[in-house]
Amino acid sequence: MVIEPFWWWTDEQKALAKDVDEFVDAHFEETEEAFWAKRFPWKTMEKVSTKGYMGAGVPKEYGGLELGATGSCIVAEALGRLYAVGHVFVVSMLGGLHQLLVFGTESQKQKYLKQISEGKVLGAVCITEPFAGSDAANVFTTATKEGGKWIINGKKRMITGAGVAGRYFFYAKTSDDPEERRQYRHITAFVADRGTKGFTLEKINALIGFDNVPNGYLDFENVELSDEQRVGEVGQGWQVMMSGLNFERLIGAAVVG
């Protein structure tokens, strides 16, 4: 077994590590072939979904395996050997998973967590913008409430999974008030589906070493979203973002071993 088990792992966690390691060994060649062909490994991703690994961190009531943080890290570390698969696993699983568990409504959990568990709809997280990188709070994308709809305008950049993802978790500015900006209460979290009118893929980037992991530019032009697509309270986006990133750091570290 490639993964070295920790002394405090349960028997179930040791068995999980053995199972996912064997899965990776059995599918290594096909993902290597996809990598060199610069082709997204859809075939392997479908098998990952069939095994239920995409739902590693999702509670059983929403169709997941409910493996917790340790179990999710075990799956992530093993899948990290499968080129693009490990990266897509992290991005898709973190494409709102932790945020929805903590801040989502029950209807959002029923819809999106089941999508994550089934792995049929991949996810992406959209934070980086042309003028918002390391300063993630410096969001220029706006969300304006008009009647019962949110109107989204802006751009997101360097988004892993752009184009192949069907669900996009993103953040937009909902206030220009200086005091709310000082308190980081000016951002709100949303989730949008691919194909929504006005939500488009501008281009796919060619990145060295990530040849078969899509990374691209996304544009929002008068995109209309319902209030049901807002995650958390208005102005709570910074908390939602940091909560998700803290979990992402854990799983991301596991992928790189």
Tokens of 202: 């501008």
**CA–CA separation, 101 and 104 (whole Å):** 6
Instruction: Considering the candidates 32, 77, 224, 248, report the single residue annotated as catalytic.
Output: 248
- Degrees to nearest 5, angle at CA 172 with 164 and 127: 45
Please report, as a single letter, which amino acid is at residue 102. Answer: V
**CA–CA separation, 214 and 110 (whole Å):** 28
The answer to whether 251 touches 90, Cβ cutoff 8 Å, is yes
Q: Are strands 142-146 and 149-160 parallel, antiparallel or unpaired?
A: antiparallel
Known catalytic residue: 221? no
The answer to whether 80 touches 6, Cβ cutoff 8 Å, is no
Active site residues: 248
